[in-house]
Structure 1
């Protein structure tokens, strides 16, 4: 169950019934093709077509301050998320935490091995739909007590929510309880993504409002054997 606060003070509870992660979802598919080639060089299997949509276990949609990981090669991705409720569509911030060691064996596997972290606030999509491309996405990582910006861009770099809403209708998934994450924007080169903490912010330059999610990564103990 997810709980969101809206700007007008209303609170909305949503039982997650379907969780979907978009991948290779850049607005420019030429840039996506370049990214696919870069990942292939690192051993990550190339998708058969783009964009992709990965079904994820609904219990992996979390609003928490902690992610538990079995090793140190996991990291987040700055994203927005749409949440289908009984009455409307909400927009919030999200961070798709991913197991990078598993990613070389399968992107879907890597996403299933870590949670999707969502903000506790949301906006009605209808209230920002006319300026969706101007909304900002920013991510920071923290190691040794210092925050460093690792991602910065706009929602205009990604396929818009309406594109995915049409997909959800086509797949008969536009139902209360469906949560869809957008895919991510490029990471800055030279910044260590395998950090101790992640923070992601969705911003609206027109109103100055922001929604954020922040969490600490806790390394699980080694297996007892």
Structure 2
């Protein structure tokens, strides 16, 4: 899959995705990480053995579909940032890790393989923004029918920075690698099992990278 991104100067960059990695439980604040663990525990998802953790995915799951087709009603997204490694530089963009919550209770790694990682339309060269990353905002909205509700609202200061993963992964960060950051907590009381998701990653000057998609539930299997 070749992904195309618009850079802040209006130019376009294309990167062919070869590897996909999803970070998990990657908050800087241990209390917030525990909050996310508790959120998932309410859905029956066991706590990870290692924090932060990392899930390798099939590169075919990375894309920008307008519609995500799912097998049942218990799936949802997660607002994240993503690193996209090109031949000569590294880009940062918005991302949404859509996940099968019903499958997640049997294995997080399995659930990650069951739904796509969606990437934003705009990307920033990482070297140009590293000193201001903590001032980027990360938000997500869910739509039920015609009503859209804010479900995630934070900043990149809540998550481990790209530099952490670049240092930890070393030679695994090769051209064509996409790394998703892990997510921030959801706002209590908002129904995550929605008809559509919207994610925005916004820099201090107001430029946003967006992910927007709707959910289509498929007909049941002929069991």
What TM-score bracket applies, with the shorter chain setting the length?
over 0.9
Contact persistence 2:43–2:101 (CA under 8 A): no
Alpha carbons of 1:174 and 1:151: their partners in 2 closer, same or farther (altered >3 Å)?
A: same
What's the counterpart of residue 127 of structure 2?
Answer: 126
Please, what is the CA RMSD of the aligned residues?
1.3
Question: What TM-score do you get using the length of structure 2 for normalisation?
Answer: 0.95
Matches within 5 A, 1:77-116: 77-116=78-117
Q: How many residues are aligned here?
A: 222
Once the 2 structures are TM-superposed, how far is the Cα of residue 31 of structure 1 from its aligned partner?
3.1
Q: Does 1:23 align with 2:21?
A: no
Matches within 5 A, 1:43-58: 43-58=44-59
35-44 or 196-205, which deviates more: 35-44
Once the 2 structures are TM-superposed, how far is the Cα of residue 128 of structure 1 from its aligned partner?
1.2
Alpha carbons of 1:197 and 1:39: their partners in 2 closer, same or farther (altered >3 Å)?
A: closer
Contact persistence 2:80–2:95 (CA under 8 A): yes
Specify every segment of 5 or more residues in structure 1 that has no aligned partner in the other structure, as ranges.
none
Name the CA distance, whole Å, in 2 between partners of 1:166 and 1:92.
19
Alpha carbons of 1:13 and 1:57: their partners in 2 closer, same or farther (altered >3 Å)?
A: same
Runs of 4+ residues deviating >3 angstroms: 37-42
Name the CA distance, whole Å, in 2 between partners of 1:150 and 1:33.
18
Name the CA distance, whole Å, in 1 between partners of 2:14 and 2:3.
6
Specify every segment of 5 or more residues in structure 2 that has no aligned partner in the other structure, as ranges.
none
Name the CA distance, whole Å, in 1 between partners of 2:43 and 2:132.
36
86-95 or 123-132, which deviates more: 123-132
**Can you list the C-alpha shifts for 1:64-113, whole angstroms capped at 9, x where unaligned?**
21101000100000000000100101000000000000111111111111
